[in-house]
Chain A
Amino acid sequence: MELTGAEIVCESLLKEGADVVFGLPGGAVLPLYGALSKYPGVRHILVRHEQAAAMAADGYARATGKVGVCVATSGPGATNLVTGIAAAQMDSVPMVAITGQVPRPYIGRDAFQETDVTGVTLPITKHNMLVMDVKDVAQAIHDAFHIARTGRPGPVLVDIPRDVLLGEKTEFVWPTETKLPGYKIPGEAPEDQVAAAAELINKAEKPLIMAGHGVLISHSYDLMTEMAEKAQIPVITTLLGISSIQSDHELNLGMSGMHGMAYSNLAIDEADLIIGLGMRFDDRVTGRISDFAPNAKFVHVDIDASEIGKNVETSVGLIGDLKDVLTQILPKIEANVHIYWLRRIEELKTQHPSHVVRESDELLPQYVLQRLTETTQSRGIVVTGVGQHQMWAAQHCKFTDPNTFITSGGLGTMGFEVPAALGAQVGRPDTVVWSVCGDGGFQMTMCDIATAVESGADVKFAILNNTNLGMVHQLQDVFFEKDFMASEFSANPDFVKIAEAYGIRGIRVTKKDEVVDAVQQAMETSGPVIIDFMVKQDEIVFPFIPSGQSVNEMLEEPAPKEPA
């Protein structure tokens, strides 16, 4: 049977197993909506702003490991996706964005709602395409999903003119192969290099594993933990590597980097071998590169060849799928105990207990998260925005299962917490999703609370409300002589009333002893809940390695004053 381009898109989505799309219609993409209504197998979730469509698709993808799909119309619809697409690109998230384009005869004439969206998104997608013939639609969607989910995942944008969606019909033939002769997906690494890496690991006296997002993407968490246990190698996670190893695992040293645990950073400083797994040594992890791990050699495994040697000079760089490479290397790793090294790390942990929340009568944001994670027993998914609350969540929330911490790392996108959380919950309907929000970021995307309510997404929003742009405030406090220009809100809305306006439960917490009860109430309530935690206002995230500096300049939380 001959189908329109729009129908072919829907058929292709079903073939790819995309049963949910997040989107918002408009003129150029309307033919696709005309077809979607006939395909109940593809659930469409209507957002309030296209930014949320991209970020919800992102959250959905990270929570499920499947490709997240978002849809927008031409022009402003497509450009509203841009921030979400850029975030997915930076964090290697599989996403397909489908945008309507003005009809072919209008392209290049500055038509109404025309934007060169393949041009706009060229540097922030893994690939993109403009489909100019209805006969190419199926192949384009097939290739887009393949590129998005394989190798180092990333977003792919497919731009389809309105008259390709709704014009000439053609036979729907699902392609059996991709048409991507230039696309290579690494698998195993060369054996001699694997052997060289194993030798370095076996010889090391102070080795550290640094686990990144790649461990989660490639489902290598069990293999990595096995390797760590076999050779007793402590594991540090990057921000996006959190939840790749259980938080309470005795070898887990938590996050390192700018706001990482002091003992993790100090361990890196003393290590003689860093084993980077599916991570990219970005500047938030390394600080000043010349002072990063000055005593260490580097073994670096990544699926993206361009990451090897990009930021650090590696002794052995293994290009390959982390799961394949770990399978290759595990038999070559000798059992070890590293007694002195582990003892030294225990010492560092005792001397620099950055995981401990200090005693205080005030409602500390760290305290809220500690109680939250205790009350939920580290079950469910935590999604965050960007800023202080994100760092505190990374430091104090605990995780048992892989892929349960979702955050915008590379791009650092405020407002991510609302749509990404609803996307994650749609993808994992059996799981409670906690959206840990800042009051600043929450207000960027809170219009999509409506989407959470409408789609029945059971998201619990925990706003750490300090009525500030907290991280900006902190930087101004430390580096701009407390010139708090444009970082304090004087008219935040009443978030409990916001909740009520959306027909959901809102709870305000101002005291320590109300925290657990509020969390429990939220968990007992079916559907979204907003908890407004009125936390201490000028709290600083410690430890803190100022941008471009090293562990030698690390600021730690001042020791509490002895009572007089």
Chain B
Amino acid sequence: MAQPNNTQQHTLIAMVEDKPGVLTRVASMFRRRGFNIASLAVGSSEQPGISRMTFVVNGDEYTVGQVAKQLDKLIDVLEVADITSERIVTREIALIKVATTQITRGEIIQIVNLFRANIIDVGSESMVIEITGEEDKINALHNLLAPFGVIEMLRSGLVAMVRGQANGLPNGNGNGSANGQVNGHS
């Protein structure tokens, strides 16, 4: 067995057929092979009938390589790429409901402005803040808001895209082929 390397956070993208049951197949594969998904975001892509999944998986090279290969084996999965080492942009959206009082409201608004986040709902004892950005930025805002009392938080899961013309997929429509392909050397 491959020697376990250092565990690292990997970002994988998969193009899948937009059909009933695809998410179940993907989730079932992760479960039965004992892989953990740190986050998963699914949505439509630029091509009709094809959805795009972004996975964040924590693991060593061996585990993440297996995740990619097992994903690629699923019939409904068109392409898989590990884009961790690519030049990528990543974003996540979070909604944070934080407790407020007359005293704290001003300070919270200041923090929100500092982060270029938005207040999308204000109540007498709470407000809902929307923030979009990289994971670290969201973590930082959350840490600053935590002392005020975070009542609820939801995070969309990370979405990622390769910069420039290439799309990171081995056989994708992009002009270049990235190194993330799973069928190559092992």
Contacts and interface: CB of A to CB of B under 8 A. Distances in A.
Contacts of A118: 21
Nearest to A129: B21
Contact of A182 (B21, B24, B75): B75
A181 B2 contact: no
A305 B72 contact: yes
Contact of A181 (B3, B72, B78): B78
B2 A313 contact: yes
Contacts of B3: 313
Nearest to B50: A181
A317 B2 CA distance: 13
Interface string A116-147: 00110011001100100000000000000001
Contacts of A123: 28-29, 32
B76 interface: yes
Contacts of B65: 309
Given A304-B73, A313-B2, A122 B186 contact: no
Interface in B118-165: none
A182 B78 contact: yes
Contact of A309 (B17, B29, B32, B62): B62
B175 interface: no
A306 interface: yes
Interface string B71-87: 01111111100000000
B76 A305 contact: no
A147 B76 CA distance: 12
Interface in B71-108: 72-79
B182 interface: yes
Given A309-B62, A314-B186, A182 B1 contact: no
A312 B3 CA distance: 10
Contacts of B2: 309, 313
A306 B69 contact: yes
B186 A308 contact: yes
Contact of A122 (B28, B62, B185): B28
A119 B24 contact: yes
A161 to B, nearest CB: 14
Interface string A237-274: 00000000000000000000000000000000000000
Interface residues of B, number: 28
Contact of A310 (B16, B66, B74, B182): B66
B80 to A, nearest CB: 10
A182 B186 CA distance: 21
A180 B28 CA distance: 20
B183 interface: yes
B179 interface: no
Nearest to A314: B186
Contacts of B10: none
B70 interface: yes
B25 A122 contact: yes
A306 B75 contact: no
B69 A305 contact: yes
Interface string B6-46: 00000000001100010011001100100000000000000
Q: Which of A119, A122, A304, A309 has the most CB of B within 10 A?
A: A309
Interface in A295-344: 304-306, 308-314, 317, 319
A183 interface: yes
A186 B69 CA distance: 13
B169 to A, nearest CB: 12
Contacts of A122: 24-25, 28
B75 A147 contact: yes
A348 to B, nearest CB: 27
B69 A289 contact: no
A193 interface: yes
B70 A306 contact: yes
Contacts of A182: 16-17, 74-79
A317 B69 CA distance: 14
Contacts of A181: 17, 78
Q: Which of B32, B65, B73 has the most CB of A within 10 A?
A: B73
A306 B62 CA distance: 11
Contacts of B69: 305-306
Nearest to B1: A289
Interface in A538-564: none
A127 B62 CA distance: 25
Contacts of A184: 72, 183
Contacts of A126: 75
A147 B65 CA distance: 24
A123 B25 CA distance: 8
B66 A319 contact: no
A308 B182 CA distance: 11
Nearest to A151: B73
A118 B185 CA distance: 34
A122 B66 CA distance: 19
Nearest to B65: A309
Contacts of A193: 185
Contacts of A314: 186
B24 A311 contact: no
Contact of B185 (A147, A186, A289, A317): A317
A193 B65 CA distance: 19
A314 B185 CA distance: 10
A319 B183 contact: yes
Contact of A313 (B1, B32, B76, B182): B1
Interface in B49-68: 62, 65-66
Interface string A273-297: 0000000000000000100000000
A289 B1 CA distance: 7
Nearest to B14: A182
Given A122-B28, A182-B76, A305 B1 contact: no
B60 to A, nearest CB: 12
A317 to B, nearest CB: 4
Contacts of A306: 66, 69-70, 72-73
B16 A309 contact: no
10 contacts: A123-B29, A123-B32, A147-B75, A180-B75, A181-B17, A182-B74, A182-B77, A305-B69, A305-B182, A309-B65
Interface of A: 118-119, 122-123, 126-127, 130, 147, 180-184, 186, 193, 289, 304-306, 308-314, 317, 319
Given A305-B182, A305-B186, 8 more contacts: A119-B24, A123-B28, A126-B75, A182-B16, A182-B78, A184-B183, A310-B1, A311-B1
Sorted nearest first, the 9 A-B pairs with minimum C-beta distance are A306-B69, A182-B78, A309-B186, A317-B186, A127-B75, A308-B186, A123-B32, A305-B69, A182-B77
